[in-house]
Structure 1
């Protein structure tokens, strides 16, 4: 089984949450998904952080994201972080990889991230796949929140 979630958080206490679940397994002909979005304002000096958590049965091999695609407007990609974890649950070994993508606002006004797609490959079977997020993330970039002292 391959499972991932997408969570969107803002730094400095303001946040927007996007939860997306997608399950791929031999028993499922089509992936199932669930998503919710709550909007918030983003200050000019805050970053948008998109976190994608992938969890799978370690016996399946390893999964790697091979290509990232998104269409940001009024946001620019800043950096990426990756964290790995392995654990046992109910007698099975599991692997978990968390990708965090940070974006900086460019100017005041509306900002969007559209068409989020991630291509991945199973490094054991070499079988490729793609994750598509069927939502558009929208924000409004306002004044900086930092105080001048």
Structure 2
């Protein structure tokens, strides 16, 4: 593989990492913590798929960095080093951002499910209280014990 082919490959990987990062920062998916949790989940699954697909090529390209720098002229070697460093940095940031977004989504989703569960319990309690009050209205003496 020539230096130019390697650099072209690094730049293509940089674009893919950048596009995936854009999804994680997109206001369409992430305007607020509890905004459209199913859509955020879909975004996270897509991003996870992209990260899994990119992992092999990115790690492979980065593992060839030293070999490519050694075989390059000084200026080419510097370009290879800079581009590979940028890819490595962006790749690490993407993975950290994904983990942060996933954790935030999991926390929000868990709290949302607890809220829904609590709401259902409250609705059941209110329904029971309403029916008890109706019975007490119709025959207060018979239902006095139930009201305590």
TM-score interval, normalised by the smaller of the two chains? under 0.3
TM-score, length-scaled by structure 2: 0.22
TM-score, length-scaled by structure 1: 0.22
Higher RCO (CA < 8 A, seq sep 6+): 2
Larger radius of gyration: 2
If each structure's strand is expressed as a fraction of its own residues, which one has the higher value? 1
If each structure's helix is expressed as a fraction of its own residues, which one has the higher value? 2
